[in-house]
Amino acid sequence: MLKRSSRAQRILLPLLNCFCIVLLWQYAVTHRWISALSLAAPFEATRVAASSFHILLPHILATTYATLLTFLLSSVGGVLLGALLMHWRNFRLAVYPSLIMFQLLPKIALAPLFVVWFGVNILSRLSFASFIAFFPIVLATLAGLRATDPLVLNLCRSVRASPAQIFWQVRLPYAVPLIMSGLKVGMTLAITGVIVSEFVTAQSGLGYIIVFSSSNLQIDLMFAALGWVSLIGLAFYGAVLVLERIVLAWLGAPMTGGMSRPGEAVP
């Protein structure tokens, strides 16, 4: 009963919170506490989203496609680079400081530079969005692979386990929780990068619709596009959560014995 109650609370409380926010928002705009030119009423934005769905559909598909490609590219590249940094110490010592430096850069300010490099096309959008989503996945993978309990590693070496066996049967199960956390962050940054790149380079996509509608003071259309962006983001984030459950079930219960040292220096 307690588990069922806890699950119901996790579902009902966020829904109740959102419902109260929407009602307060609608009431504030309807009674002109807030100008409709500044904040569209949620019911009006929903009506516009439904009535203009045939117009928005190609842009929804464009943003969804770009987000999916961005997430796949950044995930595969981030996990592979994190594993490489883990297993090649000299490479880690040479590259890790540069990764931190790039992580500290204001990436949104670099969007015009990607236009110069790749032109006004989908390649520049994918490159920029992957650039934003890539680094958290790398760092999470590296931290997860380094979190393996040293006692377990010594035990594996004592029974002469091969490096491949240690990686697949020990290090990877330890790393999965942190890797999946990095993928969740990467997913949110992927759609952020796609929308920002569409602000700069695209003639399609929900980011383009947001810029177009705001420049024409079509605030209801802008909020309709923002609503679709939120739905796409929630759908992809939910897919990552499902993937996490599948991976953890496949590998067995996550091992966390070596994760008690979060402040350990990576190099």
- What is the per-residue pLDDT for 65? 92
User: Where does the pLDDT of residue 59 fall: very low under 50, low under 70, confident under 90, or very high at 90 and above?
Assistant: very high
- 195 assigned to some structural domain: yes
Query: Tokens for 70?
Result: 């961005």
Is pLDDT above 70 for 266? no
- 262 assigned to some structural domain: no
52, 53, 59, 63: CA torsion to nearest 10? 130
- What is the per-residue pLDDT for 258? 41
- What is the per-residue pLDDT for 246? 86
Contact 79, 133 (CB under 8 A): no
Q: Which CATH number does the domain housing residue 219 bear?
A: 1.10.3720.10
Higher-confidence residue: 256 or 105?
A: 105
Q: Are residues 171 and 67 in the same domain?
A: yes
Handedness of CA 224, 229, 230, 231 (dihedral sign): positive
Quick: pLDDT tens for 60-100: 999 999 999 999 999 999 999 988 988 888 888 888 888 88
Q: Are residues 56 and 27 in the same domain?
A: no
Q: Are residues 148 and 166 in the same domain?
A: yes
Give the global pTM.
0.79
Tally of structural domains, the chain: 2
- 173-184 burial by CB neighbour count: b if 16+ within 10 A, else e? bbbbbbbbbbbb
Q: Are residues 123 and 220 in the same domain?
A: yes
Phi-psi map region of 168: left, alpha, beta (phi>0 left; psi -120 to 50 alpha): alpha
- 111 assigned to some structural domain: yes
Distance separating alpha carbons of residues 255 and 70, to the nearest angstrom: 30
Q: Are residues 23 and 120 in the same domain?
A: no
The residue segments making up the domain with residue 21 are 1-34
Range ranked top by mean pLDDT from 57-71, 114-128, 143-157: 57-71
Q: Which amino acid is at 82?
A: G
Distance separating alpha carbons of residues 83 and 88, to the nearest angstrom: 9
The percent of residues above 90 in pLDDT, for the chain, comes to: 18
Contact 47, 104 (CB under 8 A): no
Quick: pLDDT tens for 150-207: 787 777 878 777 777 777 778 888 888 889 889 999 999 999 989 988 888 767 889 8
- What is the per-residue pLDDT for 4? 63
Phi and psi torsions of 58, nearest 5°: -60, -35
Q: Are residues 107 and 225 in the same domain?
A: yes
Is pLDDT above 50 for 54? yes
- 136 assigned to some structural domain: yes
- What is the per-residue pLDDT for 36? 67
- What is the per-residue pLDDT for 252? 59
User: Where does the pLDDT of residue 265 fall: very low under 50, low under 70, confident under 90, or very high at 90 and above?
Assistant: very low
